[in-house]
Amino acid sequence: MSLRFAVPHARKLLIAHLLASLTAAGLAQAAPVAAKAAPLKSKQTMADLIKASSATDWRPLNPDNTLYMELEKGRVVIELAPDFAPNHAQNIKALVREGYFDGLAIVRSQENYVAQWADPDEKREIKTAKRKLDGEFTVKYASSLPFTRLPDVDGFAPQVGHANGFPAGRDPKAGTAWLTHCYASVGVARGTESNSGDGTSLYVVTGHAPRQLDRNITVVGRVMQGMELLTTLPRGKGNLGFYEKAEERTPIKSIKIAADVPEAERSKLEIIRTDTATFKSIVEAQRNRGGDWYKVPAGYIDLCNVPVPVRAQK
Amino acid sequence: MSLRFAVPHARKLLIAHLLASLTAAGLAQAAPVAAKAAPLKSKQTMADLIKASSATDWRPLNPDNTLYMELEKGRVVIELAPDFAPNHAQNIKALVREGYFDGLAIVRSQENYVAQWADPDEKREIKTAKRKLDGEFTVKYASSLPFTRLPDVDGFAPQVGHANGFPAGRDPKAGTAWLTHCYASVGVARGTESNSGDGTSLYVVTGHAPRQLDRNITVVGRVMQGMELLTTLPRGKGNLGFYEKAEERTPIKSIKIAADVPEAERSKLEIIRTDTATFKSIVEAQRNRGGDWYKVPAGYIDLCNVPVPVRAQK
């Protein structure tokens, strides 16, 4: 398969060139010849912009807010967003520090929806963390919360954009903001009552963004590396994709906070700073593609399609 | 994990209730008590509407336009949409009938994007099918093309909706329509030239809808069953998620047209008819959730989040 475009190494980049290798020989089909649209201008791609970026366009993940979920097949790196869910972030860290998650399991993998982890036996004691928390479905946002607004309309929120790397919605009239349910968003599973989610069971969005969940459940962070460890899990055959048999559940060896892990064992990652000109250019490069493969630029991008590149620290 | 909502059997249904089983004991966190919004009204869910639907709300997949891709682990069922890509649908059927795909392989699995199949050795001869086709990125639509419009705004297309079960966009001024790149959409891989896709390599969208591809590439149909056989494939380590080693590629035993398969071996599936009151009610049930789990109805739905239920024929 001939590949005609270099691909940057950052995993989170979406490259939209689909190539097929074809011989030039063969009969052209007799068909009306459509008027050819003018080719799109060549312009900097996201890969070009990343290559040209400066060190200050990136920030390291915050080790105090970064979780490492260790699975047999590798590590899932999650960064928490205390700006949006301070109490849940705090409680999850408390649960992590008391070893709550160690030895638990992935209990659910539902096609085009979520993977979820929890105590499958529902019997593990909580020692110091809280068992009940009021939902943090939205937060009142301070004017100091950095928010880089997307230029485009969004049907689920009055405004959308990025805050410190996290995709978010905002309602200026209500003064509230919330993290949106994009691919890789991590949320706090709950029952019917708004205060029934405490962080003992978390889920991650693995398919098309289920934005109808926004403002209905606490979103607490984002998977920054290791998504494929979760998206490729066999689907559970029970209701809602829950696994029915213990042997189907992928064990969680441990979850640790990066700051508690010896520095040599940390995943040294950095994420683009979404309040930079580089990021705005990346958004625009994705909104309006140039070059010779695309024929029609979209002139629009939806929040959950905006790539927020993560890479190994330079 | 206690499950409090019955789940219908159709695989394509998205259920948005995430449950965690918690004991009622435990300390409530001291926190300001937010004013409680009025609970949402109880209303018919999609599951209720499906249960209440009549036989005429469903249509069987068309065996002349349905492909069975047989993998070791099971069958992927694809329905082609000749209304939107008549020449490509015809050419793909010709390729299938000459056994072009038999023994080929899945060559690519890219995280949050696509799986793609093709001849990994790029050497298989085409016998009767065409090797070059003008792109069918959009079609002029006849007024007879059934189109059930979604009430909501879409940033990628002047109008969106469903035509005969397929998610589609439409430009009334230009008189053109196209299938959109939603999860499960199947398209025709191409090189740089618009006429370089002939159907010898196809891809399916496995992650968040890459709508920027709309109108840039021929979309030819949709996977109706078996998506998890493709979405759980290990990701290719090469550029764009291509596999680098032959042993990584999932072999395709065969692709056949349903009409050519003995009736006893066919997958008897039916899909909701998208020009029915039942479907419109399903869309509305998803746009504005009711019941006791949701707290805030979205009042909006994006095209690629609209479920188009498929089930075993009754």
Question: Are the Cβ atoms of B227 and A111 closer than 8 angstroms?
Answer: yes
Residue among B59, B61, B91 nearest B76 (CA): B61
pLDDT above 90 covers a percentage of chain A that reads 82
Question: Are the Cβ atoms of A1 and B107 closer than 8 angstroms?
Answer: yes
pLDDT tens readout for residues B185-215: 999 999 999 999 999 999 999 999 999 999 9
Asked if pLDDT for residue B145 goes beyond 80, the answer is yes
- Strands lying side by side in the sheet with A74-80: A105-109, A114-118, A202-205, A185-188, A219-225, A74-80, A66-71, A252-257
Residue B262 touches chain A, beta carbons under 8 Å: no
Residues 6 or more apart from B89 whose CB is under 8 A from it?
A: B65, B80, B81, B82, B220, B221
Q: Supply the mean pLDDT for chain A.
A: 89
CA dihedral B261, B264, B266, B270 (to 10 degrees): 140
Residue B189 · residue B226 · CB < 8 Å: no
Question: Are the Cβ atoms of B207 and A203 closer than 8 angstroms?
Answer: no
Asked if pLDDT for residue A3 goes beyond 90, the answer is no
Asked if pLDDT for residue A58 goes beyond 90, the answer is yes
pLDDT above 70 covers a percentage of chain B that reads 88
pLDDT tens readout for residues B230-257: 999 999 999 999 999 999 999 999 999 9
Of B17, B34, B153, which is closest to A134 when you measure between CB atoms? B34
Q: How far apart are CA A29 and CA A307, in angstroms?
A: 38
User: How, if at all, do strands A219-225 and A74-80 pair?
Assistant: antiparallel
Domain boundaries, chain B: 62-269
**A198 neighbourhood in chain B, CB within 8 Å:** 22
Specify the range with the lowest mean pLDDT, choosing from A197-211, B8-22, B45-59.
B8-22
- What distance in Å separates residue A234's CA from the closest CA in chain B? 6
Residue among B204, B220, B313, B229 nearest B267 (CA): B313
Asked if pLDDT for residue A35 goes beyond 90, the answer is no
Residue A59 · residue A53 · CB < 8 Å: no
Secondary structure element (H or E) that encloses residue B286, with its range: helix B277-287
Mean pLDDT for B109-114 is 98
Secondary structure element (H or E) that encloses residue A285, with its range: helix A277-287
pTM as predicted: 0.89
- What distance in Å separates residue A251's CA from the closest CA in chain B? 16
Residue B50's identity, in one-letter code, is I
Residue B135's identity, in one-letter code, is G
Q: Which of A7, A13, A18, A284 to mutate to test the interface with B (most CBs of B within 10 A)?
A: A18
- For residue A37, what pLDDT is reported? 67
B86 half-sphere exposure, CB direction, 13 A CA radius: 5
Asked if pLDDT for residue A22 goes beyond 50, the answer is no
Mean pLDDT for B261-286 is 97
Asked if pLDDT for residue A287 goes beyond 90, the answer is yes
Mean pLDDT for B104-123 is 97
Residue among A124, A126, A61, A59 nearest A91 (CA): A126
Residue B214 touches chain A, beta carbons under 8 Å: yes
Chain A to chain B, count of Cβ pairs less than 8 Å apart? 261
Residue among A153, A79, A83, A76 nearest A117 (CA): A76
**Residue of chain B whose Cα is closest to the Cα of A238:** B7
Confidence of residue B20 (pLDDT cuts 50, 70, 90): very low
Written as one string, the DSSP assignment of A219-284 is EEEEEEE-THHHHTSPPPSSGGGB-SSGGGSPBEEEEEEGGGS-GGGS--EEEE-TTSHHHHHHHH
- For residue A27, what pLDDT is reported? 28
Judging by beta carbons within 10 Å of its beta carbon (0-12, 13-18, 19+), is residue B126 exposed, middle or buried?
A: middle
Q: Which of A1, A224, A245 to mutate to test the interface with B (most CBs of B within 10 A)?
A: A1
Confidence of residue B62 (pLDDT cuts 50, 70, 90): very high
Could you give the ipTM of this predicted complex? Answer: 0.89
Question: Are the Cβ atoms of A203 and B239 closer than 8 angstroms?
Answer: no
Asked if pLDDT for residue B12 goes beyond 60, the answer is no
- Determine the 3-state secondary structure of B86 from DSSP: helix
pLDDT tens readout for residues A145-180: 899 999 999 999 999 999 999 999 999 999 999 999
Q: How far apart are CA B25 and CA A126, in angstroms?
A: 11
Asked if pLDDT for residue B13 goes beyond 60, the answer is no
Look at chain B and count its residues: 314
Secondary structure element (H or E) that encloses residue A50, with its range: helix A46-52
- What distance in Å separates residue A189's CA from the closest CA in chain B? 6
Residue A147 touches chain B, beta carbons under 8 Å: no
Look at chain A and count its residues: 314
The CATH architecture assigned to A62-269 reads: Beta Barrel (2.40)
Residues 6 or more apart from B43 whose CB is under 8 A from it?
A: B285, B290, B291
With tokens 């949006």, the residue in question is: A84
Asked if pLDDT for residue B157 goes beyond 80, the answer is yes
Residues 6 or more apart from B189 whose CB is under 8 A from it?
A: A18, A19, A20, B116, B118, B197, B201, B202, B203, B217
- For residue B38, what pLDDT is reported? 77
Q: Which of A40, A92, A112 to mutate to test the interface with B (most CBs of B within 10 A)?
A: A112
Confidence of residue A11 (pLDDT cuts 50, 70, 90): very low
Asked if pLDDT for residue A31 goes beyond 70, the answer is no
Of B191, B198, B211, which is closest to A302 when you measure between CB atoms? B211
Q: How far apart are CA A81 and CA A103, in angstroms?
A: 25
Instruction: Take residue A14 and report the two structure tokens written for it.
Output: 């979406």
**Residue of chain A whose Cα is closest to the Cα of B299:** A156
